[in-house]
Amino acid sequence: MADNDEVTSLSAIGGSAQNGALAFATTHWSVVLTAQDESPAAQEALEKLCRTYWRPIYRFVRRQGAAIEDAEDLTQGFFALFLERKDLNTVRKEKGRLRSYLLASVKNFLADEARHAMAVKRGKGQRLIPLEEIRERERIDVERSDRLTADQVYERHWAFTVLEQVMARLRDEYRSAGNLRFFDQMRKMLLDEPSRPSQAQVASEFDMTENAVKQAFYRFRQRYQTLLREEIAHTVAMPSDIEDELRHLIAVVRA
């Protein structure tokens, strides 16, 4: 989903910070923080988080002035080292959020020349992070980021990654139900743009009543909000952190 889509789709999440508490099931970050040993479940959860949230790290490194290939090596190297480290006890004690922990970690990584040099070598050739995905958008995104600090670039790409994950999950649900074309129209209806389809247009296209479209869109928004909260839950240690993290995400995208 393009950046403007994430911004305009905030109409769907603006009120979700006031919803009731989400049932806090075992999530990726909580698995990592509570694991007492090098369990396969914790390692798998950490690798999944790295694969999902590599883009903000890459953008941060690029905004720090690294060339494309250097940033790719540094990003791969950072995550290679991150997955090898055994010092998560500190963040367990602090009950940190993945967003803040990764940003602090990459800053330390870039500041430590010896460790960073070794990690780059280890990172080369590893395919943990699919950096090829980013090449075609590289020039445009860097130009957009010229007015932002490295921290702001990181925060915005973190927020966009969360929203992209949510929309991808929702799309998969509609595709599994054979309703992918209907999903596309529901997604467009989230956008606060003149080109978005009206309820009447969608009703005509799918041979539905406008009231049926209204109800379908309401369910779409509700499911979007639920998945958003679930995605955020995967990146925080405590259920009480979800609301603050959601408010932070909304503020970052609206800034």
- Alpha-carbon distance of 193 to 246, in angstroms, equals 24
pLDDT at 140 over 60: no
Query: What rounded mean pLDDT belongs to the chain?
Result: 78
pLDDT at res. 216? 97
Query: For position 22, what pLDDT does the model report?
Result: 43
Q: How many domains does the chain have?
A: 1
Gap between the Cα atoms of 226 and 166, Å rounded: 9
Compute the average pLDDT of residues 82-102: 68
pTM: 0.76
CA distances from 169 to 34, 65, 157, 176, 229 (A): 26, 34, 18, 11, 12
Q: What is the mean pLDDT of residues 201-210?
A: 96
Q: What is the mean pLDDT of residues 42-59?
A: 84
Between 113 and 66, name the one with better pLDDT: 66
Higher pLDDT, 35 or 168: 168
| pLDDT at 14 > cutoff 90 | no
Helix ranges (H only) for the chain are 3-8, 28-34, 40-52, 54-63, 68-84, 89-94, 98-111, 113-123, 138-144, 150-176, 180-190, 199-205, 210-233, 241-254
114-123 mean pLDDT: 59
| 103-139 per-residue burial string, b: 16 or more CB within 10 A, e: under 16 | bebbeebbeeeeebeebbeebeeeebbebeebeeeee
> Which pLDDT band, with edges at 50, 70 and 90, does 88 fall under?
low
Task: Name the residue with higher pLDDT: 126 or 108.
Answer: 108
Q: Which tens digit of pLDDT belongs to each residue from 26-47?
A: 556 766 666 545 677 777 777 8
Q: Answer whether 156's CB lies under 8 Å from 148's CB.
A: yes
Per mean pLDDT, which of 52-66, 168-182, 229-243 is the most reliable?
168-182
In angstroms, the Cα distances linking 84 to 76, 91, 123 are 12, 15, 11
* Host domain of residue 180: 3-254
Poorest-pLDDT segment among 53-57, 92-96, 143-147, 211-215: 92-96
